[in-house]
Structure 1
Amino acid sequence: MKFAFIAVIFGISLAWGDVSTRHTNLKCEFPDKTYLQILVCRLKVLGRGIIGANVHLKALNLPIRKVQINYSVWRKLSGYHPFLFNVTVDLCHYMQHPNPLTVFYYFYGAMLPFINVNHTCPFNHDIILKNFVLDNKMFNRVPIPKGSYMFMIKISSEGVWRGTIYDYLDVNVDDAPSIKSG
């Protein structure tokens, strides 16, 4: 049964063609200014059709010993509605014991080359995400319908929800396969 499901998903992903993605907006909301300060939260054009997300959060109460991340995907239909998953991860535990069988593993793996949160707790520094570009290969593994999506990332530390990062993006699936010269 499991093999049949995987075969269907793989067949659908092959039939869908190439996937193109791009950031459309980025918002950061951290109401407690005594704990975290937003220095940068914006998109930056890095080249023709290449948009990078940049976030710099200055931590004011160091060290940070406990961090939880709630990561959810929302699809725009008539407003944004929950889509696919809503996962909460204890980041400190995950950094000590990464599990490749979780959705967060792919999410974190995509951001790893662009973020300075690459070690176990405690965190004694600012959180910096620099020029995070969506790689089209990220969405070839999971066939999703074309449209507008929002990744909502809620951050909790020391047991208190500190803020939310909203990353808006478009996913377009090209119907015609691309011609690649060898």
Structure 2
Amino acid sequence: MKFAVIVALMCVLSPPVSADSGTRHTNIKCEIQDESFAEVNVCRLKILGRGIIGANVHLKIKKLPVKTVKVNFSVWKKLSGYHPFLFNTTVDLCHNIKHPNPSNVFYYFYGALKPFLNVNHSCPINHDLILKDFVLDDMMFSLVPVPKGNYMFDIKLWANGAWRATIFSYLDIKVDKTL
């Protein structure tokens, strides 16, 4: 009897869960502009569990060490095609790792990636770049609430003064309620 009462209370008190709530990766593409500098070993999504999709990227760097890295990060929203949305910012990755700035949107982007990324130190970088099993979470969008929709993150990487790679990450944001 107690179990039935507890289940009934949980059903009444918990917020409704719809099939289209949540965030998820839908696609990922990696392009190398300078194949003498780097190559893509892995660029794919992987199903980690029921409804859990992880992004995996492994860029093999052929010319080490990488002394300077700049990242251009832009968000695009799908309307009738992809259109610029919210921000387009370029940051010096080496400087931002050494001197984090919470007033820069890149601070939150890098903070979400950091547990899944092997770049957690400043320059020079003497190894491959690996993003392993990066899973989107609804809480990632609680500080910057965005409307439901399909989005593309366009991430351009400059290394040692030249544009080397672009990563396109496609995702659906279907958060019903922002916190």
- Give the TM-score band, short-chain normalised: 0.7 to 0.9
Within 2, Cα distance between the matches of 1:46 and 1:53?
10
1:110 corresponds to which of 87, 100, 112: 112
Unaligned runs of 5+ in 1: 1-16, 178-182
Q: Which moved more, 1:49-58 or 1:88-97?
A: 88-97
**Amino acid in the other structure paired with 1:128:** I
Specify the alignment match of 1:171 in structure 2: 173
* Deviation at residue 118 of structure 1 after TM alignment: 0.2
2:141 corresponds to which of 122, 128, 139: 139
Specify the alignment match of 1:57 in structure 2: 59
After superposition, give the CA deviation of every residue in 1:78-105 in whole Å (9 maximum; x if it has no partner): 0000000001000111111111111000
Within 1, Cα distance between the matches of 2:163 and 2:35?
13
Within 2, Cα distance between the matches of 1:143 and 1:58?
34
Within 2, Cα distance between the matches of 1:53 and 1:64?
24
- Mark the structure with the bigger radius of gyration: 2
> Would you say 1:90 and 2:83 are equivalent positions?
no
Specify the alignment match of 1:47 in structure 2: 49
Within 2, Cα distance between the matches of 1:68 and 1:173?
31
Within 2, Cα distance between the matches of 1:173 and 1:163?
31
Specify the alignment match of 1:76 in structure 2: 78
**Amino acid in the other structure paired with 2:32:** F
* Deviation at residue 173 of structure 1 after TM alignment: 2.7
Q: TM-score normalized by structure 2?
A: 0.86
Q: Which structure 1 residue ranges, 4+ long, deviate > 2 Å from structure 2?
A: none
1:25 corresponds to which of 24, 27, 52: 27
Identity within the alignment, %: 64
**Amino acid in the other structure paired with 2:142:** N
Matched positions, count? 160
**Amino acid in the other structure paired with 1:169:** L
Q: TM-score normalized by structure 1?
A: 0.85
Within 2, Cα distance between the matches of 1:22 and 1:87?
23
